[in-house]
Amino acid sequence: MAPGNSGGNDAVIQGARRSEQPHGILIVDDEPAILESLQLTLGSDYRVFPAESGEAGLAILEREDIALIITDQVLPSMSGVEFLERAMEIEPAAIRMMLTGYADIGSLARAINEGRIYRYVSKPWEPDELRLNVKRALEAHDLATENVQLAFALADANARLRAENVYLRREVERKYAFDRLIGSSPAMNRVFEVMEKVAETDATVLIRGETGTGKDLVARAIHYSGPRRDHRFVAQNCAALPDTLLESELFGHVRGAFTGAHVDKKGLFEVAHRGTVFLDEVGETHPGMQVRLLRVLQDGEIRPLGCSETRKVDVRIIAATNRDLLKDAEEGRFREDLYYRLRVVEIELPPLRERRSDIPLLAHRFLDASNRKMGRKLMGFTNAAMDRLVAYHWSGNVRELENEIERIAALAGDAETIGVDMLSEHIRGAAPAVDPRAGDLPRGLTLNASVDGLKRRMILDAIRETGSKTRASELLGIPRQSLQKMMKRLGLKD
Ligand SMILES: Nc1ncnc2c1ncn2[C@@H]1O[C@H](COP(=O)(O)OP(=O)(O)OP(=O)(O)O)[C@@H](O)[C@H]1O
Ligand SMILES: [Mg+2]
């Protein structure tokens, strides 16, 4: 029987149902007396099908569900071994036994060794011994069938698991990709919108942004959430290698292309076949390289160094730069045609200081990560500390913020809250940015009353923050006596 590949479970169920009826045994012998005697021995426990010739036996095999075949060694028109060979083609799972009147041990041994015969029975036989042998043979049959069924079920389960794994991996990658990118500012939401649209396509993307704004992260997110996600994402920093090495890295080379090229080497454009190549700092490429890149973008072709033929490649290109490439193009430092080929879609990552509302979210996420990494139990930031983080200029953008939080966590000991005093000195000094155009200045108060209100809030904050008037006065940048006097005038108790 052949378990269908529609599902291993079906096969197992089918097998169980079958085993409810007695096993079928085919007996083949040209002597009616022998058939009769075998039927007598086995007929009460099994369904026994007698056949007087090999041909008749094969016909029964085609029709019936047979688990065991017992055949005479010599049949009218074929030998017992020949018959078993043909029987195997019809019902390979049936166990085969042979009756033998005389001991031609040589040919029997061969048949046994070749696996065509499970065992032979010499005539005349002991009925009890035969019954026992048949029972064992059928147990072997059931075990083998069950094994086949289990193997099918296993293969089926494996295939399902594999499919599930691919799916899960995709989900994880997709989540990984988009989840790691944090931001809820309008500026970042615009970025996410473009990313989602462009991820589904093959369009070349140019990501622009200052250092540490997340260009790398965005490139990965686009790759891992698009149709190329099951193929590779390879990143190459174009500023990191000398010209020839960069060319060989990206396009590959053949042996002897330059000193030191001892063997052929595949370039990243070929390695990333059907995936994505991320060209980081593309603005730093030299003119020769720019021509080669243009060729990939225009014709989908590369030519390894030292090789005379071109090769087709299927890659998506994402490039990043922190330069103003348009200006570079206008001033002749970057090929204009390449610039336009690269910026089919342009994603501009705003510097962190232009999306300050993302800072608390990012700071908390980095704090969680640091807690986990360093086994800290920091719960959060005091308002004053968060104000400083929000106010700071962050020229190194998100990376600088991440590093700052890690630094704080490393030095935090068992503190639970991050206060101003734990911030780096230059950040501690950041004055809360007050945008004179912002509309949230107090209204309906005299200037003096407003200023007093602000002073009150800042003093209280500083004292709560630092826990002492001396440290608060330092934080506020005024002498301690002035602080004391000011508190008295403003009606603040110690
Ligand atoms: N929006 C974001 N959400 C979470 N983490 C971010 C975000 N942007 C950047 N990061 C983190 O900041 C660090 C710097 O990001 P990334 O390497 O992507 O910046 P980059 O723009 O490629 O910088 P560079 O120009 O220096 O290569 C990384 O650790 C990254 O995980
Ligand atoms: Mg980068």
On whether residue 79 sits in a domain, the answer given is: yes
CATH of the domain at 15: 3.40.50.2300
- Among 399, 402, 406, residue to substitute to test ligand 1 (most atoms within 8 Å of Cβ): 399
Among candidate residues 315, 350, 385, the one where a domain is terminated: 350
Rounded to the nearest whole angstrom, what is the distance from the C-alpha of residue 398 to the centroid of ligand 2?
A: 12
Of the residues 324, 350, 376, the one at which a domain ends: 350
CA dihedral sign of residues 162, 164, 170, 173? negative
Nearest protein Cα to ligand 1, atom 7:
214
Q: Which ligand has an atom closest to residue 216 CA?
A: 1
Ligand nearest to the CA of 349: 1
Residues 79 and 128 in one domain: yes
Do residue 340 and residue 201 come from a single domain? yes
3-state secondary structure of 70: strand
Residue 438 in domain? no
Both 231 and 373 in one domain: the answer is no
Can you give the C-alpha Rg of the chain in angstroms? 41
Give residue 470's pLDDT. Answer: 86
Contacts of 272 (CB under 8 A, 6+ apart): 231, 232, 233, 234, 315
Ligand 1 atom with least separation from CA of 218: 18
Q: Identify whether residues 334 and 366 lie together within a single domain.
A: no
In a domain, 98, yes or no: yes
* Helix 383-391 × helix 359-374 angle, to 10°: 110
Long-range contact pairs involving 311-315 (C-beta distance under 8 Å, separation at least 24): 311/270, 313/269, 313/270, 313/273, 314/273, 314/274, 315/269, 315/272, 315/273, 315/274, 315/275, 315/276, 315/277
Residue type, position 459, single letter: I
Q: Which listed ligand is nearest to 348 at the C-alpha?
A: 1
- Report the separation in Å between the CA atom of 118 and the middle of ligand 2, taken as the mean of its atom positions: 69
48 part of a folded domain: yes
The residue range of the domain holding 67 is: 8-151
CATH number at residue 261: 3.40.50.300
Contact 229, 223 (CB under 8 A): yes
CATH number at residue 371: 1.10.8.60
- Is residue 435 included in any domain, yes or no? no
Q: How far is the centre of ligand 2, averaged over its atoms, from the C-alpha of 215 (Å)?
A: 6
Residue pLDDT tens, the chain, 494 long: 333 343 334 333 333 334 568 999 999 999 999 999 999 999 999 999 999 999 999 999 999 999 999 999 888 888 888 899 899 889 988 999 988 876 566 666 766 666 577 877 888 888 998 999 899 989 988 888 888 778 777 877 777 777 666 666 655 655 556 678 899 888 999 999 999 999 999 999 999 999 999 999 999 999 988 999 888 999 999 998 888 889 999 999 988 878 777 888 889 999 999 999 999 999 999 999 999 999 999 999 999 999 889 999 999 999 999 999 999 999 999 999 999 999 999 999 999 999 998 999 999 999 999 999 999 999 999 988 998 999 899 999 999 999 999 999 999 988 999 999 999 999 988 765 444 444 445 555 667 777 777 888 888 888 887 888 888 888 888 888 888 888 888 888 76
Same domain? For 337 and 470 the reply is no
Ligand closest to Cα of 321 equals 1
362 occurs within a structural domain: yes
pLDDT value of residue 58: 95
Please indicate, yes or no, whether residues 86 and 216 belong to a single structural domain of this protein: no
Residues 30 and 147 in one domain: yes
Q: Measuring from each residue's beta carbon to the nearest atom of ligand 1, which residues come in under 6 Å?
A: 180-183, 209, 211-217, 322, 362, 398-399, 402
Are residue 234 and residue 319 in the same domain, yes or no? yes
Statement to judge: residues 105 and 223 lie in one domain:
no
Cα of 213 from ligand 1 centre, angstroms = 5
Residue 310 and residue 406 in one domain = no
User: pLDDT value at position 15?
Assistant: 39
pLDDT of residue 244: 85
Evaluate whether residue 174 is within a structural domain: no
Please indicate, yes or no, whether residues 33 and 141 belong to a single structural domain of this protein. Answer: yes
pTM of the model: 0.58
Distance between Cα 208 and ligand 2 center (Å): 10
Q: Which amino acid is at 368?
A: D
Phi and psi at residue 471, in whole multiples of 5°?
Answer: -70, -35
User: Based on the domain organization, do 191 and 77 belong to the same domain?
Assistant: no
- Cα(408) to ligand 1 centroid in Å equals 19
Residue 333 lies in a domain: yes
Which of 350, 375, 403 represents a domain boundary (last residue)? 350
Ligand 1 mean position to 215 CA, how many Å?
6
Q: Which two tokens stand for residue 57?
A: 């036996």
The total number of structural domains in the chain stands at 4
The pick from 398, 403, 404, 406 for probing ligand 1's pocket by mutation, whose C-beta has the most ligand atoms within 8 angstroms, reads 398
Which atom of ligand 1 has the smallest separation from the CA of 214? 18
Which atom of ligand 1 is closest in space to residue 188's alpha carbon?
1
